[in-house]
Amino acid sequence: MLLVILLCLAVGGCGRFYHLVGTIVAANDFDGAAIVEISSDEACEGRRIPAATIRLVYELDTNQQPVPDTSWQRSIVADQVGEFEIKDYGPPGGAKQVGLEINAEGYETAYTVYRDHPKRHPHVFCVSLVPVRGDEDV
């Protein structure tokens, strides 16, 4: 056991802290879903979408997509006013590419890859989702 602890300390720690906060709103047009990192004093305007699922994925493939069945991920559900906060530990390392996926019933899924910097917390996001278009809208 002591050897495992010493090995973890030698490689820079056994994990890295991630802290994200955000607001999920309905987009005003059909240009597509968007996940935008904003400063903490910027507002995220729009009709709030409650109970969306937020997934943070730490293991991405060469196309920057989540590795299927990875255990390096964390999912939560936004609150009733469309806000979320994730605090989690992931794989160790410095600045790292991380996948962020948001979906809500009746809306297109939004996905982006962002560079998580360990000294900049929390990362703040404004997420705009667009309604799923039915065949009659095409």
Q: Which CATH architecture has domain 16-137?
A: Sandwich (2.60)
78-91: pLDDT as tens digits = 999 999 999 988 77
Domain locations in the chain as residue ranges: 16-137
Q: What is the 3-state secondary structure (H, E, C) of the chain?
A: CHHHHHHHHHCCCCCEEEEEEEEEEECCCCCCCEEEEECCCCCCCCCECCCCEEEEECCECCCCCECCCCCCEEEEECCCCCEEEEEEEECCCCCEEEEEEEECCCECCEEEEEEECCCCCCEEEEEEECECCCHHHC
pTM of the predicted model as reported, rounded to 2 decimal places: 0.80
40-75: pLDDT as tens digits = 888 899 999 999 999 999 888 899 988 888 888 899
Q: Is the pLDDT of residue 94 over 70?
A: no
107-122: pLDDT as tens digits = 999 999 988 877 667 9
